[in-house]
A and B are shown apart, each in its own frame.
Chain A
Amino acid sequence: MRDHTAAAAAPKPPVDTSLWGDSYAARFEPDPSGERMIVNMGPQHPSTHGVLRVLLELDGEYIVRAEPVLGYIHRMHEWMAENRTYAQFIPNMGRVDYLHALAWNWAYVGAVERLAGMEVPERAEYIRVITCELNRISSHLLWWGAYLLDLGAFTPIMYAFDDRERILDILQMVTGSRLTYSSFTFGGVSTDLPPEFIPKTREFISSLRGRLPMFRDLVTDNGILRGRCEGIGILDLDTARRYGATGPCLRGSGQPYDVRRAEPYSIYDRFEYRIPTESACDAMARYFVRLSEIDESLSIVEQAMDSIPDGPIQGKGPRKIRPPKGEACYAVEGARGKIMIMVQSDGGPNPYRVKLRAPGFSNLSLFAELAQGTLLSDAVSILGSLDLVIPEIDR
């Protein structure tokens, strides 16, 4: 960690800010020889996956220094939590990371249930698992398409969205929405599975399994893609641990850490599934991890649908809950990593404090170190392989 106290106390040399608009660029001092170029990638850029600004110091095509600048989409979710009741905050969770909204929903309702000591009925747990895993598949499909779009291939995203449309239709049956779901409640889920849900999902599972070989033929085995991803963004395990990386970034470096196994929640211990792990530590390893996770999620959904019991979908509890004083944390395996929410209550109708731990924040901090010394094209590839959603990082 750099020590900022001494640097802040020392007198600063005068910096010519006439060409650079803001304080970030002014502090990003270039080298005196003037041979290096400082470029802003973003906040409006086709491949930064949201409003992310990356200050790059380029020596020709090589990146000497990279610094991500955040905050362009800070929406003060944690403040909103303190000014709304517990139930009124649930829709916010769908907007934090809209690609895996149900995982954020789950983390929040799980934290409040843990705090208030509420029980969740069996059927509701199964519904939560099925919908969350389907959401994970849709998130990975979008990541795959968008990653290839960054790398210059324009067709795979269209194919991915074709499959994703089917998932969105299936999830619309249960939750009523296509993207920003808020269908989990304290103590269960809000709507039961309609009768056509299970046949349609089974049909979808077999169709997606039939499409995955085509993805492999078109993209995964493609020599050009291998050249863009293999050996790029080597993230050794020690660096990953230092930055707190989780999710496919960590599993692509050889550590089989999955919150569903490490800190088991809900009924995941009843299902058989692998934790895909690769040891190559590069962007290709993270790619393989995510594609394998699609397979594993399909298998979990199948097992859940085979054994889902009948019963109520909503546990007992007051409509306006006032959890007792205290705090509780709940961690969930999101598509991007470990989502953890801490809810602190002072006995009132509103939470006292809600802390949202976004996996993307830790994953993005890796970028500055991973991008050093690489080419600009590699930086784009690394950024894509980290699977960032900037609204989640900025909250």
Chain B
Amino acid sequence: MSVSNSCKDAWNYAKSLLIGLGVTGKNFVKPTITVIYPWQQVDNMSTFRGHVELIPKDDDPFTPRCVACGACADACPSHCLTVVAPPKTPKPKADAPAAALVEGRVIPKTEKAAAPEKSRAPVQFFLDYSMCSLCGQCERVCPAKSLRFSNNVYLTGFSREDFKIDLLARMKSQGSGQPAPSRQKPPETAPVSEKEKEPA
């Protein structure tokens, strides 16, 4: 290894080190790029997809589009969703008379009576967010397009119970403009009756 070669190598080595120092030095005087939460906020959260929430009907902000088919609960890999369908209204019997007697008037069968508006909206809709992996399968399979991702970034809680979210209550509070209740109780074992929601 000749002396001139080693001198050249040493010079290149030293030059590379000095250039490196220059890079760090230049970055030293540049402003910081970190965002010191919570005194400052980041600005890229509008595209964040948090937990799912129910989409209300266009004409009624307190009723979801959901038809309680249970496809989302089936599709969830972690079984996070609990959907309770409304009780079934009894179908008219097959051997009913050709004409129906309604309120003293005879209505022929061909004339379709105005059936009472039966709502297929679910009675309960709970999401166990502590198990959710934000995969989006529920949102994808919904036939009524009733689920969307919320932008609930700053969801915090003190216990697992805080992450069992009552999505119906959330939707209703969004419709009325009130903030959603902070503590939401999950359903009891026999979820048939309408549950009273605890105020915030």
Residues of A near any B CB (own CB < 8 A): 84-85, 87-92, 155, 159, 162, 169, 172-173, 176-177, 180, 182-183, 185, 190, 194, 214, 217-219, 221-224, 319-320
Q: Please state if B134 and A217 are interface contacts (CB–CB under 8 Å).
A: no
Instruction: State whether the Cβ of B47 lies closer than 8 Å to any Cβ in chain A.
Output: yes
Query: Closest approach, in angstroms, between the C-beta of A84 and any C-beta of chain B?
Result: 6
Interface size band for B: 20 to 34
Q: Are A222 and B71 in contact (CB under 8 A)?
A: no
- Contact, CB under 8 Å: B44 / A169: yes
Across the interface, name the chain A residue whose C-beta is closest to B149. A176
Q: Closest residue to B71 on the A side, CB-wise?
A: A319
Question: Could you tell me the distance between the alpha carbons of A217 and B16 in the complex, rounded to whole angstroms?
Answer: 7
Contact A176 B133 (CB under 8 A): no
Q: Are B47 and A217 in contact (CB under 8 A)?
A: no
Q: Are the C-beta atoms of A183 and B136 separated by less than 8 Å?
A: yes
Q: Mark B24-56, 1 if CB is under 8 A from A, else 0.
A: 100100000100000000001001110000000
29 A-B pairs with C-beta separation under 8 A: A84-B77, A85-B75, A87-B137, A88-B77, A88-B137, A89-B77, A90-B135, A90-B137, A91-B133, A91-B134, A91-B137, A92-B77, A155-B27, A159-B27, A162-B33, A172-B44, A173-B47, A176-B48, A176-B49, A182-B134, A182-B136, A190-B136, A190-B140, A194-B47, A217-B22, A221-B16, A223-B13, A319-B71, A319-B141
- In the complex, B94 has a CB within 8 A of chain A: no
A-B contacts at CB below 8 angstroms, number: 73
Complex CA distance for A223 and B12, rounded to whole angstroms: 8
Q: State the Cβ distance, B194 to closest chain A Cβ, in Å.
A: 31
Residues of B within 8 A of A84 (CB): 77
Q: Does B190 touch A at the CB level, under 8 Å?
A: no
Q: A87-B137, A91-B77, A176-B149 are in contact. List 16 more A-B contacts (CB 8 A).
A: A87-B140, A88-B75, A88-B76, A88-B137, A91-B137, A159-B27, A173-B47, A176-B49, A176-B136, A190-B136, A217-B19, A217-B20, A218-B23, A219-B20, A223-B12, A320-B141
Q: What B residues does A177 contact at CB under 8 A?
A: 49, 134
Contact of A185 among B17, B27, B140 (CB under 8 A): B140
Give the nearest-CB partner of A93 in chain B.
B135
Q: Give the chain B neighbours of A91 by CB distance below 8 A.
A: 77, 133-135, 137
CA distance A327 to B24 in the complex (A): 54
Binding site for A on B (CB under 8 A): 12-14, 16-17, 19-20, 22-24, 27, 33, 44, 47-49, 71, 75-77, 133-137, 140-141, 149
CA distance A200 to B135 in the complex (A): 25
- B13 — which chain A residues lie within 8 A by C-beta? 223
Give the docked Cα–Cα distance between A173 and B45 (Å). Answer: 10
Residues A223 and B135 in contact, CB atoms below 8 Å apart: no
Q: With A88-B137, A182-B135, A190-B140 in contact, do A176 and B47 touch (Cβ < 8 Å)? A: yes
Residues of A within 8 A of B149 (CB): 176
**Shortest distance between the CB of B127 and any CB in chain A (Å):** 16
Known: A176-B149, A177-B49. A218 touches B20 (CB 8 A): yes
A89 contact set on B, CB distance < 8 A: 77
Across-interface contacts of B20 in A (CB, < 8 A): 217-219, 222
Q: Measured between C-beta atoms, what is the minimum distance from B192 to chain A in Å?
A: 28
Closest to A174 in B: B47
**Docked CA distance A342–B135 (Å):** 22
Contact in complex: B23, A217 (CB < 8 Å): yes
Residues on A with beta carbons closer than 8 Å to the beta carbon of B47: 169, 172-173, 176, 194
CA distance in complex: A219, B13 (Å): 12
Task: For the complex, give the distance between the alpha carbons of A221 and B20 in Å.
Answer: 9
Contacts of A88 in B (CB 8 A): 75-77, 137
Give the distance to chain B from A320, nearest Cβ to Cβ, in Å.
Answer: 8
Which residues in A have their C-beta under 8 angstroms from that of B140?
Answer: 87, 185, 190, 319
Q: How far is the CA of A222 from the CA of B16 in the complex (A)?
A: 5
CB nearest neighbor in A for B133? A91
Bound form: Cα–Cα A354–B140 in Å: 23
Q: How near does chain A come to B4, taking the closest CB pair, in angstroms?
A: 18
Closest-CB distance, B132 to chain A (whole angstroms)? 10
Contact of B17 among A173, A190, A223 (CB under 8 A): A223
Contact residue among A87, A92, A159 (Cβ-Cβ distance under 8 Å from B75): A87
